[in-house]
């Protein structure tokens, strides 16, 4: 069971969004009291017979030790030893930890394999588990991976030269914690791990300098739990990324800005990307072309084709809206197609009319 630093033992198990707290038995473990011994003392045994008395000296009794048993050595291996089935489609394994009672899978998106994003734990007795997603922060710490869930912190330590007895730890909002030693730990090989910081750098760099770069401006609130939730970095090449920043999330779609991150020396270069679209003309004329840094809708980035598609609803029921396709050419996005249905009349069409190109 998980080791704790309070008594009685408390085990916090978060099961599919709810926490189950179970206590251990009130029975106290047996204690061993070592006999006292004075240096050089002996125990004398007297044996009587019909003829005489025999005196035998017994060596002094050594004190018993009651130290905590040492944790078993962690079995280490490569993450490729297990399949991606637990992580799911379009995701890959990042790390894996196993204890006496739990299996923990750390997963990443397939297009960002070096950024841990998902925490999936399963109870070995089949009683449930916990799914977490990291939003707007990097769970990878020095020698550990830590996920925050409403004040509860779930930490999977890695075996290192400084930490030969890693644990799976749950830290409670009040600072108390519970731990269970790791029995097995799998991760990427060293060559992959060495590149993780570089892969995470674009998103972390842009988020850190968001205000300085003028991204989202007054539309981004760090107090909003949804702020930055959809922020991601998409690798175009080793030195170039498209970085998506979610400004805010509304009822049925979000607002986003994009930048091109280029690893120039002495520091990265960030280029804002702009989007052309067409607004309905109020005087019955042709739709008006407008250019903005922010797009509203449900965007999708295709790294292979280096394109961004976006579908925008003009109202929740989706009877009116627009769709657009953009392609990255050099350091700018070029509009390939724009479709729109401006009339919110309750009528649904299979394809919106083409506005551009004509």
Q: Which residues contact 259 (CB under 8 A, 6 or more apart)?
A: 206, 213, 215, 242, 243, 245, 270, 271, 272, 273
Q: How far apart are CA 72 and CA 93, in angstroms?
A: 25
CA angle 265, 259, 94 (to 5 degrees): 80
Whole-prediction pTM value? 0.47
Q: What are phi and psi of 342, to 5 degrees?
A: -85, -20
Strand partners, 237: 240
Strand (E) or helix (H) holding 34:
none
**Residue 28 φ/ψ region, left for φ over 0, alpha for ψ in the -120 to 50 degree band, beta for the rest:** beta
What six digits make up the tokens of 314?
């003009």
Is residue 325 within 8 Å of residue 337, measured between CB atoms? yes
pLDDT tens for the chain, residues 1 to 358: 444 444 433 334 333 333 333 333 344 444 434 444 444 444 444 444 444 444 444 444 444 444 445 556 899 998 888 887 899 888 999 999 999 999 999 999 988 888 999 999 999 998 889 999 998 889 998 889 999 999 999 999 999 877 889 999 999 999 999 999 999 999 987 544 444 444 457 888 898 889 899 999 877 755 544 445 678 889 899 889 999 999 888 878 899 999 999 988 778 899 999 999 999 988 778 999 999 999 999 999 999 999 999 999 999 888 999 999 999 999 999 999 999 999 999 999 888 999 999 8
What the block records as the tokens of 151 is 């004040």
Please give the angle made by the CA atoms of 254, 258 and 261, to the nearest 5 degrees. Answer: 150
Contacts within 8 Å (CB) and 24+ apart, 212-216: 213/259, 213/270, 213/272, 214/272, 215/245, 215/247, 215/257, 215/259, 215/272, 216/245, 216/247, 216/248, 216/255, 216/257, 216/294
Residue 50: DSSP 8-state: S
Cα distance between residue 140 and residue 210, in whole Å:
21
Q: Tell me the C-alpha distance between 55 and 268, whole Å.
A: 88
């Amino acid at each position: 069971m998980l080791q704790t630093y309070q008594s009685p033992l408390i085990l916090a198990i978060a099961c599919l969004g709810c926490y189950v707290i179970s206590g251990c038995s009130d029975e106290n473990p047996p204690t061993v009291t070592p006999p006292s011994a004075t240096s050089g003392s002996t125990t004398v045994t007297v044996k009587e017979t019909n003829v005489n008395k025999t005196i035998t000296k017994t060596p002094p009794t050594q004190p018993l030790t009651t130290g905590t048993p040492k944790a078993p050595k962690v079995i280490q291996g490569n993450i490729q030893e297990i399949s991606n089935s637990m992580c799911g489609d379009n995701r890959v394994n990042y790390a894996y930890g196993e204890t006496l009672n739990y299996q923990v899978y750390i997963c990443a998106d397939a297009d960002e394999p070096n950024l841990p994003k998902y925490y999936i734990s399963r109870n070995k007795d089949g009683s449930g588990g916990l799914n977490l997603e990291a939003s707007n922060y990097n769970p990878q710490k020095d020698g550990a991976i830590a996920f925050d869930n409403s004040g509860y912190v779930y930490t999977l330590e890695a075996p290192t030269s400084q930490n030969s007895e890693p644990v799976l730890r749950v830290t409670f909002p009040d600072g108390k914690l519970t731990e269970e030693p790791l029995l097995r730990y799998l991760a990427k090989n060293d060559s992959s791990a060495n590149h993780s910081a570089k892969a995470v750098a674009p998103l972390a760099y842009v988020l850190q300098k968001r205000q300085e770069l003028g991204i989202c401006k007054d539309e981004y609130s760090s107090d909003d739990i949804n702020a930055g939730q959809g922020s991601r970095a998409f690798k175009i090449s080793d030195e170039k990324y498209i970085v998506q920043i979610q400004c805010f999330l509304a009822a049925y779609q979000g607002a986003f800005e994009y930048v091109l991150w280029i690893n120039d020396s002495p520091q990265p270069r960030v280029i804002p990307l702009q989007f052309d679209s067409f607004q309905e003309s109020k005087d019955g004329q042709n739709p008006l072309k407008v250019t903005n840094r922010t797009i509203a809708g449900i965007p999708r980035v295709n790294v292979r084709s280096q394109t961004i598609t976006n579908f925008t609803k003009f109202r929740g029921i989706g009877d009116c809206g627009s769709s657009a396709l953009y392609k990255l050419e050099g350091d700018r996005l070029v509009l390939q197609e724009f479709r729109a249905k401006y009339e919110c009349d309750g009528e649904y069409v299979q394809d919106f009319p083409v506005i551009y190109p004509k």
